[in-house]
Amino acid sequence: MASYGMGEAELILGLPASTLRHWEHELSILGPRKDQFGRRRYSTADLRLFLRLKHLALGKGLGLSAAGEALLAELGAPQSEARARIAQLRGELIVLYFAAVEAGRVLDGGPGPRS
């Protein structure tokens, strides 16, 4: 399963680390695992939650508390097959994005793959 560090999450989400940490503190649903050194490791599912929360809180202007409630309501509602497929495709796009970034690093002569 793919996991991403804080820097990679910042790039994908377009949010600073301080915002990610604050949102994690305020909303218990957001809880990435930590590695043996205490660094956050975000799964594709974690990133999907953050992207949706960002859309609700910032894009729709709901604010963090209201966006968190809306997100919980969405997660509790039965999903149609189309919504489930869209969520799956979003996750696949995140994985493809990082594959492209890694390929670009290799082509540019930068450092190799990171884990």
Query: Which CATH number characterizes residue 14's domain?
Result: 1.10.1660.10
- Parent domain of 29: 3-78
- What are the angstrom distances between the C-alpha of 49 and each of 78, 87, 91, 106? 17, 10, 11, 30
**Overall domain count for the chain:** 1
pLDDT digits (tens, 9 = 90+) for 19-32: 999 999 999 888 88
pLDDT, mean of residues 58-69: 92
pLDDT at residue number 8: 92
* Residue 74 within any structural domain of the chain: yes
Quote the CA–CA distance of 20 and 15 in Å, as a whole number.
Answer: 7
pLDDT digits (tens, 9 = 90+) for 45-57: 899 899 999 999 9
pTM, to two decimals = 0.69
Both tokens of 76, joined, read 């509790």
